[in-house]
Amino acid sequence: MGKTLALTASDGHKFDAYRADPKGKPKGGIIVIQEIFGVNAHIREVADSYAAEGYTAIAPAIFDRVEKGVDIGYDEKSRTKGREVRAACNLDNVLLDIAAAVGTLKTEGLKIGVVGYCWGGSLAWVTACRFNVDAAVGYYGGQIIPHKDEKLKCPVMLHFGKKDASIPMTDVDKITEAHPEVPIYVYDAGHGFNCNHRPDYNEEAARAARKRTLNMFGKFVG
């Protein structure tokens, strides 16, 4: 369904993105922000799934500044590799790349939603604080706490797993306290529960979170 797109950030950096378009006129645009595994099969499938719902979806390859074409799986070796590449990323530069993806959809006259998973879940939050988008949804973003006191510029929804070993519920409580206006849903699931390529995949939680996310985007983007 999708295709590779070449984007250029405001600092001149050229990078790839995966783009999936709906069959008819798009009802809005969705930026899909990757986990630490690159724009891999799962992230491309997520983009395709939003296109199937009538949105134009773009997943920017935000690892390209460090290493082009990162596309890895979920075994321990891949996780180590993903963490290393993510650690080498500079947040300001990553945001330039997300901004380029947002700008692409804005020039097409679309309202824009942002959805991110894992690392991307945290980046979706930062995007909602710093850019003019219409809605943002973060799945199990473990790095929101350093940015919890930033002011949100659009409606935001967050999804977490109660059994997530990497995100303590005390962190979720702190976000709730700082932003009582943000709907936060906690599922009886672990980290990565939306990804059917991972052992932590939880179909029930994924379906419930997806329904809520689509309702959110339907209200503010579509």
- Residues with a catalytic annotation lie at 118, 164, 191
Element (H, E) at 6: strand 3-8
Half-sphere exposure of 134 (CA within 13 A, CB side): 18
Order of strands, sheet of 112-117, starting from the edge strand that comes earlier in the sequence: 3-8, 14-20, 55-60, 28-33, 112-117, 135-139, 156-161, 184-187
Buried b (16+ CB within 10 A) or exposed e, 39-70: bbebbbbbbbbbbebbbbbbbbbbbbbbeeeb
- The answer to whether the CB of 29 falls within 8 A of the CB of 131 is no
Which tokens is 5 given?
A: 């797109």
